[in-house]
Structure formats: structure tokens, C-alpha cells
Amino acid sequence: MTRRRQNHILRIVVAVLVGFIALSLLSKINDDNSRLSNLYEFIKDSSLLIATIAVAYLANIYQRRQNFLDSLREQWREIVKTKGVLLYYCKTSEPDADQYWRTFTQLSECIDNMRIVYANVGETNELIGAYPFEPLHDMRRAFETLDPARGASTAEDRVLVWGKIEQAFNAIREKFLDEFDIDEPSKPILKRGAGRTKVKGARV
């Protein structure tokens, strides 16, 4: 469950609860009206049940959100690992066909595994929709130019391909990680070449 969908559901739940509270107050204020008085008694008697249902539903929503984030983390780790394998291939002086196909297979699996996290954009019963993170396919298309069946690639070819792969990865990272609520560290180390600030010794 994406953050946007979760927030949409939470707004609906809050609106319903506020509506119940407002209706209850209105019924209480106008207790001289028999219908409103009966409605107030019904809401009062059902308040515990309503609260229990609301809490259970919200717990389910947060659990689905957590499961989604777990799947998202796993998918991100797979993307990073695939990037590392592609880097290793592009930096290898003389990669062979077997290494190419192992790398290509891992990239292909990474692309397909995205489908258990996100649905295609604009997908309907009649339309396939668009793949949610096209830069992964850009990485595939760039890597396919190194196919040994097309002839041996040069070091310059692999450097060029790696540049395209890195560009695609950076595009994915910029949008993919936005779903996580990531804060800045409370004590970042921004200075290059920093070392320990403590010295040897102990307080006795």
C-alpha cells in the first residue's frame, strides 16, 4: 500500500469518525427530539463497537503498509545488487559470454520482480499499461548492446554502457526511495577524511 493510498484511506476514516462525533453532539444537544434522542442512545451504546472496528481497520491498514514497505526494501536491495553486477561486468577487462548471460539473467529477474511490488501504470482489463520504472528497461537496452553475439565489446563500449546504466539507476533512486519516510541523520559526518573524536582511555 503506497503512502498516497494510505493517506487517502486515513482521511476517509477520520471523516467518518468526525461525522459520528458531530452527529452524536447534535443528537445530545437536541435531546428533546425523540428521533435524535434515540439516535444518540444508539450511538452511545454502539460507541465501543465502532471504536473497536475503527482500531482493527487502522491496524490492518498499517500492517498492509508495513508489508508493502518490506517488499519495497527487498526490491531496492535487488536493484542495488543488480547494479553492482552490471558494474562488475562493465569493469571486467575481458568478460566472456557466460558472464554476460548470468548478468543479463539477473537484470531480467530484477525487472520482472518489480511486478510483485507495483502494478503497471494505467493498466486496465483491456490495456497492459506502462512499466512503472522505465529506467530499468533503459539499463537492459544499454546492456544488450554488449551482447557477445554482436561481437566482442571494447573497453570503451563498456564504459559508455556503464554511463547509461548509472544514469538510469540515479533516475530510479530519485523516485523509488521517495516512498520511504527517510529523515536526515541526527549526527551526520559531512567532513571528508574524518576520524574518531574520542581518544584512548577510560574513566575509572
Residue 14 vs residue 140, higher pLDDT: 140
Q: Are 97 and 146 in contact (CB under 8 A)?
A: no
Q: How confident is the model at residue 42 (pLDDT cuts 50, 70, 90)?
A: confident
The answer to whether residue 154 is domain-embedded is yes
In this predicted structure, the answer to whether residue 38 has a pLDDT above a threshold of 80 is no
Q: How confident is the model at residue 121 (pLDDT cuts 50, 70, 90)?
A: very high
What pLDDT shows up at residue 183? 86
**Which of 67, 63, 71, 164 has its CA nearest to residue 113?**
71
The answer to whether residue 32 is domain-embedded is yes
The answer to whether residue 116 is domain-embedded is yes
The answer to whether residue 191 is domain-embedded is no
Q: How confident is the model at residue 24 (pLDDT cuts 50, 70, 90)?
A: confident
The answer to whether residue 197 is domain-embedded is no
> What's the mean per-residue pLDDT of the chain?
90
Angle at 61 between CA 76 and CA 19, to 5 degrees: 140
- The average pLDDT across 158-165 equals 97
In this predicted structure, the answer to whether residue 139 has a pLDDT above a threshold of 90 is yes
The answer to whether residue 130 is domain-embedded is yes
**Which of 116, 136, 2 has its CA nearest to residue 69?**
2
Q: Are 23 and 39 in contact (CB under 8 A)?
A: yes
Give me the torsion for CA of 57, 63, 65, 71, rounded to 10°. -150
Q: How confident is the model at residue 23 (pLDDT cuts 50, 70, 90)?
A: confident
Instruction: Give the count of domains, the chain.
Output: 1
The answer to whether residue 145 is domain-embedded is yes
Residue 175 vs residue 181, higher pLDDT: 175
Q: How confident is the model at residue 49 (pLDDT cuts 50, 70, 90)?
A: confident
The answer to whether residue 187 is domain-embedded is no
Domain of 11 in residue numbering reads as 3-179
Q: How is 6-62 classified by DSSP, letter by letter? A: HHHHHHHHHHHHHHHHHHHHHHHHTTTSHHHHHHHHHHHHHHHHHHHHHHHHHHHHH
Percent of the chain with pLDDT over 70: 99
